[in-house]
Amino acid sequence: MSETLFVRLPPGAEPGAALEWVLLDDAGARLDQGVHVGLAQLPAPDTSDGALASVEVETATSRLPLGRRVVAFVPATEVSVAAVELPARSASKALQLAPFALEEQLAGDIEQLHFAVGEQEDSGKTPFVVCARAAMERWLEVLQVAGLNPAALVPDFLAVPANPGHTVVWLEGRMVTIRPPGQWPMLLDAEPLEAALELAGVLGAAVPPHLLVYAAEPEHTTHAVVLESVGAQVGSLRMQLLTDGPLAALAVSALHEPPLTLLQGAYASRGASTGRLARWRVPLALAATLAALAVGGQVVDLLHARSEAKRLDGLIADVAHQAMPDVHKLVDPRRQVEAKLAQAKGRSGADGLTATLAALAAARDTTPTMELDNVTYYDGTADLQIKAADATALEQVRSGLAARGYTAQLQVVPGIEGGPAAARMRLSREGATP
Specify the pLDDT at position 316: 72
Indicate the residue type of 156: D
Consecutive H or E run containing 138: helix 133-145
DSSP letters spanning 227-283: HHHHHTTSSEEEEEE-TT-HHHHHHHHHHHS----S--GGGGGGSHHHHHHHHHHHH
| Domains (range + CATH), the chain | 3-270 (3.30.420.380), 348-429 (3.30.1360.100)
3-class state of residue 287 by DSSP: helix
| Residue 146: DSSP 8-state | T
pLDDT at 211 (0 to 100): 96
Query: For residues 49 and 27, what is the distance between their CA atoms, to the nearest angstrom?
Result: 45
Q: Which parts of 257-416 fold into alpha helices (H)? A: 272-323, 333-347, 353-366, 391-403
List CB contacts of 90: < 8 A, sequence separation 6 or more: none
The whole-number average pLDDT for the span 303-321 is 72
Please report the pLDDT score of residue 97 as a whole number.
Answer: 66
Residue 377, amino acid: Y
Give 387-429 pLDDT, tens digit per residue.
888 888 888 888 888 888 888 888 887 766 666 788 888 888 7
Contact 79, 161 (CB under 8 A): no
pLDDT for the residue 57: 38
Residue 38, number of CB atoms within 10 A of its CB: 19
107-164: pLDDT as tens digits: 667 788 898 888 877 777 788 898 999 999 999 999 999 999 999 999 999 999 999 9
Of 315, 307, 311, residue with least CA distance to 337: 315
All residues at 6 or more sequence positions from 59 whose CB lies less than 8 Å from its CB, including other chains: none
Whether 331 shows a pLDDT value over 80: the answer reads no
- Rounded CA-CA distance 39/371 in Å is 124
Average pLDDT on 165-190 reads 93
Lowest mean pLDDT among 36-40, 54-58, 69-73: 54-58
The reported pLDDT for the residue numbered 77 is 92
Residue 94: is its pLDDT beyond 70? no
Question: CB within 8 A of 166, min separation 6: which ones?
Answer: 181, 209, 210, 211, 212, 238
> Is the pTM value of this prediction over 0.75?
no
At residue 195 the predicted structure's pLDDT band, cuts being 50, 70 and 90, is very high
* Position 375 pLDDT exceeds 50: yes
